Amino acid sequence: MLERSRLRTKTAWTALVLALFLLPGLASAQIPKKPDQKCINNINKGAAKVAKAQAGDNSACVKDYGKGKNLSADACVTSDPKGKVAKAISKIKTSDCSGAPADL
Protein backbone atom coordinates (compact mmCIF):
# COMPACT_ATOMS: atom_id res chain seq x y z
CA MET A 1 0.00 0.00 0.00
CA LEU A 2 2.84 2.39 0.87
CA GLU A 3 4.63 1.59 -2.43
CA ARG A 4 1.50 2.36 -4.42
CA SER A 5 1.14 5.70 -2.62
CA ARG A 6 4.78 6.63 -3.36
CA LEU A 7 4.35 5.69 -7.00
CA ARG A 8 1.28 7.93 -7.28
CA THR A 9 3.14 10.78 -5.61
CA LYS A 10 6.12 10.43 -7.95
CA THR A 11 3.81 10.27 -10.96
CA ALA A 12 1.95 13.37 -9.84
CA TRP A 13 5.18 15.32 -9.29
CA THR A 14 6.55 14.21 -12.64
CA ALA A 15 3.38 15.32 -14.40
CA LEU A 16 3.47 18.66 -12.58
CA VAL A 17 7.09 19.33 -13.51
CA LEU A 18 6.45 18.42 -17.15
CA ALA A 19 3.41 20.69 -17.24
CA LEU A 20 5.39 23.59 -15.79
CA PHE A 21 8.03 23.26 -18.49
CA LEU A 22 5.82 22.47 -21.47
CA LEU A 23 2.74 24.67 -21.03
CA PRO A 24 4.37 28.13 -21.14
CA GLY A 25 5.64 27.40 -24.65
CA LEU A 26 2.13 26.57 -25.81
CA ALA A 27 0.62 29.76 -24.41
CA SER A 28 3.14 32.26 -25.76
CA ALA A 29 1.53 35.15 -27.61
CA GLN A 30 3.04 37.17 -30.40
CA ILE A 31 2.70 40.92 -30.51
CA PRO A 32 1.47 42.19 -33.88
CA LYS A 33 3.81 44.37 -35.92
CA LYS A 34 3.20 48.12 -35.79
CA PRO A 35 1.30 48.40 -39.13
CA ASP A 36 -0.87 45.41 -38.22
CA GLN A 37 -1.57 46.87 -34.77
CA LYS A 38 -2.63 50.19 -36.31
CA CYS A 39 -5.04 48.35 -38.60
CA ILE A 40 -6.45 46.29 -35.72
CA ASN A 41 -6.91 49.40 -33.56
CA ASN A 42 -8.71 51.31 -36.34
CA ILE A 43 -11.06 48.41 -37.01
CA ASN A 44 -11.78 48.01 -33.29
CA LYS A 45 -12.54 51.73 -32.90
CA GLY A 46 -14.79 51.65 -35.95
CA ALA A 47 -16.59 48.55 -34.69
CA ALA A 48 -17.24 50.30 -31.36
CA LYS A 49 -18.83 53.22 -33.22
CA VAL A 50 -20.99 50.83 -35.25
CA ALA A 51 -22.12 49.11 -32.05
CA LYS A 52 -22.95 52.47 -30.46
CA ALA A 53 -25.01 53.54 -33.48
CA GLN A 54 -26.82 50.19 -33.57
CA ALA A 55 -27.54 50.38 -29.84
CA GLY A 56 -29.07 53.83 -30.29
CA ASP A 57 -31.26 52.57 -33.13
CA ASN A 58 -32.29 49.54 -31.08
CA SER A 59 -33.22 51.70 -28.10
CA ALA A 60 -35.32 54.07 -30.20
CA CYS A 61 -36.90 51.10 -31.94
CA VAL A 62 -37.93 49.41 -28.71
CA LYS A 63 -39.38 52.68 -27.39
CA ASP A 64 -41.38 53.12 -30.60
CA TYR A 65 -42.53 49.50 -30.46
CA GLY A 66 -43.73 50.05 -26.91
CA LYS A 67 -45.77 53.03 -28.08
CA GLY A 68 -47.32 50.95 -30.84
CA LYS A 69 -45.59 52.81 -33.68
CA ASN A 70 -43.94 49.71 -35.17
CA LEU A 71 -45.55 46.47 -36.27
CA SER A 72 -42.62 44.15 -35.70
CA ALA A 73 -39.76 44.41 -33.23
CA ASP A 74 -37.60 42.12 -35.39
CA ALA A 75 -38.00 44.30 -38.47
CA CYS A 76 -37.42 47.40 -36.39
CA VAL A 77 -34.05 46.40 -34.96
CA THR A 78 -32.71 45.38 -38.36
CA SER A 79 -33.66 48.69 -39.97
CA ASP A 80 -31.43 51.76 -40.02
CA PRO A 81 -33.96 54.63 -40.23
CA LYS A 82 -31.49 57.51 -39.97
CA GLY A 83 -28.58 55.75 -41.69
CA LYS A 84 -26.33 56.08 -38.65
CA VAL A 85 -25.21 52.46 -38.71
CA ALA A 86 -24.38 52.54 -42.42
CA LYS A 87 -22.48 55.80 -41.93
CA ALA A 88 -20.45 54.33 -39.06
CA ILE A 89 -19.64 51.26 -41.15
CA SER A 90 -18.50 53.39 -44.08
CA LYS A 91 -16.20 55.42 -41.82
CA ILE A 92 -14.20 52.44 -40.57
CA LYS A 93 -10.65 53.28 -41.54
CA THR A 94 -9.10 50.37 -43.37
CA SER A 95 -6.53 52.37 -45.34
CA ASP A 96 -3.86 51.30 -42.84
CA CYS A 97 -4.63 47.65 -43.54
CA SER A 98 -2.55 45.80 -46.11
CA GLY A 99 -5.38 43.45 -47.06
CA ALA A 100 -3.48 40.41 -45.84
CA PRO A 101 -4.22 38.85 -42.45
CA ALA A 102 -2.03 40.07 -39.62
CA ASP A 103 1.07 38.00 -38.90
CA LEU A 104 0.20 36.67 -35.46
Write out the DSSP string of 25-41. Answer: HHT---PPPHHHHHHHH
pTM of the model: 0.62
Residue ranges of the domains in the chain? Answer: 44-92
Query: Per-residue pLDDT tens for 49-92?
Result: 999 999 998 888 888 878 888 767 677 777 888 899 999 988 88
Amino acid at 99: G
Asked if 67 and 25 count as a contact pair (C-beta separation under 8 A), the reply is no
Contacts of 16 (CB under 8 A, 6+ apart): none
